[in-house]
Amino acid sequence: MGHSKSVLAAIAILGTAVRLACAADAAGPSATWPVFPIAPPQDRAFPGDIQLSVDATDIARRVVRIHERVSAISADTVLLYPKWLPGTHAPEGPIDKIAGIRITSDGTPVPWTRDPVDVYAFRVHAGAGVHTIDIDFEYLSPTSPKVGALEISRDVLMIEWNELVLYPAGYFARQIPVQASLTLPADWQSASALETASANAGRTTYKSVNLETLIDSPVYAGRYAKTLDLDPGGSVPVHLDMFADRPEFLNIQPDQLADYRALVQQAYKLYGSHHYAHYDFLYSLSDQIQLNGLEHHQSSEDGSDPEAFSKWDKLAYSRDLLPHEFTHSWNGKFRRPADLWTPNFNVPMQDSLLWVYEGQTEYWGEVLAARSGLRTHQQALDQLALTAAFYERQPGRRWRSLQDTTNDEIINPRRPQSWTSWQRFEDYYDEGALIWLDADTLIRERSKGKRSLDDFARAFFGIRNGSFAIVSFTFDDVVKALNAVEPYDWAAFLRQRLDSIGKPAPLDGLRRGGYKLVYTDTPGELLAGEEDQRKRINLTFSIGVELDDKEKDMQGIISEVIWDSPAFKAGITEGDQILAINGIAYDADVLKDAIRAAAGGTKPPIELIVKSGDRFKVARIDYHDGLRYPHLERDASEPARIDDILAARPN
């Protein structure tokens, strides 16, 4: 689907047509196809600028109206709609959601055509003497979840600038100045990493920034909002900008606010630096728009259950989100994998180092959640147990390396999969985190507790305090930095864990950390909270299914079956619905009781009546090991290094 940089270069050389060599007696057509060269981005100043006016007041229709004035147009200008999006690491720009494109010059229509090879590119047929054009179009934000993830509700909205701008090809994004303004419903408040130049009657004009910074600086807005200072007295402001479906959802408790403030301090103790002029957590408390989690250099998008504060205990499973996204300001945004950085938003990205970008961020996200108090020590251990157990039995590891999963965002930008445990999916996050636990405990063991991965974080991400300029890195840079902390064959350590197939999951960090993975018949606090909150019944560690009980009148829907599990062997598939268990109508507790009762070698199989489409079948699950849920148990043969890792750094 994408095209590589070398292909772009070849196209530029070849000109307008490519002919496939073929023998005169070929059996079929000889292929000729047109190629339309698009100027590759260059690091030179765009001589004009973009004036971008966005009207987001049509909340009811979820239509955003864009007016754009682009100067310094030439006869062969190509306008690009952003395709490759930072943070998603994939070609996900919603080109299917723009409509009504009208281009004019001094009121006279200017014709345009779309490039048939790259449908994100628009050729502007401006006549001689046309230097400035006006572009009008609508961004049709999804009206229902079946069209796409919701971004606009009656009370909250998110503005993603990449969806709302066409920009000239031929320049690095950082070389294109943009003056943006945004009109919102008059009584709404908004927040962003952008700085305001002026504001009146619902219209905010931002200070001019380059296109890279604009697209990295979304705006959240809403009817019910509250901004809190997360670093009172700090040298650089850090704000929690909350937008909620209802005003009562904004009622954060003092001890909850204290945990978020501790997050900022613990991150500073870890990295010893910051890379922003001010930082804004754009925090939506809404079930009317998508639960977003997206990093930016000076802000992040953090979607939460609307009752995050009143259901604090149950929602511990999701509370590594802000620590994760905050960490990305250092890991991913400031320090960026060299092959992931691109000069503009239409050059393909390569995701080979996501096990650092996302894997180590996942690790620090979980560690900082514990160090700040956003999760208790036990909840942090529970999370680790779930991750370890997931990979201990993940069948997809038998055929596919972790390294290969770094392509997953491009292969599948988060659409549902039928057999995730066999396909694997973005395992560079969680399995990546296990590798970093492995490395952290190894450094601690080898240095006799003197050094740790904290030292790597400070040395690798903490450089150039206060600078925003991206510093890219390669695999070799990571190895070099690890060696500076603790001499070891880190290249072999990493490559073995990244490239091996069919080897046991990387769980040495648990053992070396002083814990072992055990199973009992009751879920830990973290999973129990998640099951209750999401109405998903996790039996993946026993019979091998997860059930979705969200809909009151459609319970027992199988949302996942683990490949080769007892349920798999009984012929059950994702989408099936369990109607009865051993002759009794479905209820999650009835199913759990049946699994418990079947424990022991001589018991009969668990008999299910299952609806599959318009057919009914009997499935017999021959499983006798009872309910199983993962936990970590202290193993005194090693020091409790994991306890040290999770403990708050002192003031």
DSSP H/E element including 56: strand 50-58
- Specify the residue, 358 or 427, whose C-beta has the smaller distance to Zn ion: 358
Contact flags string 492-531 toward Zn ion, x per CB under 5 A: ----------------------------------------
Here the tokens at position 517 are: 């993975």
As to burial, measured by CB atoms within 10 angstroms (0-12 exposed, 13-18 middle, 19+ buried), residue 650 is exposed
Give the count of residues interacting with Zn ion (CB under 5 A): 1
- Closest to 152 measured CA to CA, from 50, 65, 252: 65
Find the shortest distance in angstroms from Cβ 295 to Zn ion: 6
Here the tokens at position 415 are: 């659409």
Find the shortest distance in angstroms from Cβ 325 to Zn ion: 7
- Specify the residue, 426 or 576, whose C-beta has the smaller distance to Zn ion: 426
Find the shortest distance in angstroms from Cβ 361 to Zn ion: 5
What is the DSSP pairing of strand 219-222 with strand 189-192? Answer: antiparallel
**Distance in angstroms (rounded) separating the CA atoms of residues 503 and 234:** 47
* Core vs surface per residue 299-332: b (16+ CB within 10 A) or e: bbbbbbbbbbbeebebbbbbbbbbbbbbbbbbbb
- Specify the residue, 297 or 631, whose C-beta has the smaller distance to Zn ion: 297
Residue 416, C-beta contacts closer than 8 angstroms, at least 6 positions apart: none
Find the shortest distance in angstroms from Cβ 293 to Zn ion: 7
Find the shortest distance in angstroms from Cβ 409 to Zn ion: 11
Cross-strand pairs, 616: 611
Find the shortest distance in angstroms from Cβ 581 to Zn ion: 39
- Specify the residue, 86 or 523, whose C-beta has the smaller distance to Zn ion: 86
- 444 within 8 A of 454, measured Cβ to Cβ: no
Size (the chain), residues: 651
How many CB atoms within 10 Å of residue 447?
A: 14
Here the tokens at position 538 are: 């996790």
Find the shortest distance in angstroms from Cβ 328 to Zn ion: 6
- Specify the residue, 70 or 435, whose C-beta has the smaller distance to Zn ion: 435
Site residues for Zn ion, 407-446, by CB under 5 A, read none
Find the shortest distance in angstroms from Cβ 329 to Zn ion: 11
- Specify the residue, 163 or 358, whose C-beta has the smaller distance to Zn ion: 358
Find the shortest distance in angstroms from Cβ 356 to Zn ion: 11
Find the shortest distance in angstroms from Cβ 330 to Zn ion: 12
> DSSP state, 42?
B
How many CB atoms within 10 Å of residue 250?
A: 18
Q: Provide φ and ψ at 427, rounded to 5°.
A: -70, -10
- Specify the residue, 70 or 193, whose C-beta has the smaller distance to Zn ion: 193
How many CB atoms within 10 Å of residue 354?
A: 25
Site residues for Zn ion, 344-383, by CB under 5 A, read 358
- 71 within 8 A of 46, measured Cβ to Cβ: no
Contact flags string 124-143 toward Zn ion, x per CB under 5 A: --------------------
Amino acid at 133: I
- Specify the residue, 81 or 283, whose C-beta has the smaller distance to Zn ion: 283
- Specify the residue, 478 or 572, whose C-beta has the smaller distance to Zn ion: 478
Site residues for Zn ion, 68-97, by CB under 5 A, read none
Amino acid at 559: S
Residue 426, C-beta contacts closer than 8 angstroms, at least 6 positions apart: 358, 405, 408, 409
What does the angle CA 159 – CA 161 – CA 167 come to, to the nearest 5 degrees? Answer: 160
Find the shortest distance in angstroms from Cβ 362 to Zn ion: 7
- Specify the residue, 120 or 281, whose C-beta has the smaller distance to Zn ion: 281
- Specify the residue, 212 or 325, whose C-beta has the smaller distance to Zn ion: 325
Minimal CB distance residue for Zn ion: 358
What does the angle CA 580 – CA 583 – CA 588 come to, to the nearest 5 degrees? Answer: 40
**Distance in angstroms (rounded) separating the CA atoms of residues 549 and 562:** 18
Find the shortest distance in angstroms from Cβ 331 to Zn ion: 9
Residue 457, C-beta contacts closer than 8 angstroms, at least 6 positions apart: 270, 271, 330, 364
Site residues for Zn ion, 551-590, by CB under 5 A, read none
- Specify the residue, 331 or 577, whose C-beta has the smaller distance to Zn ion: 331
Distance of CA 577 to the CA centre of its chain: 30
Site residues for Zn ion, 218-277, by CB under 5 A, read none
Binding site for Zn ion (CB under 5 A): 358
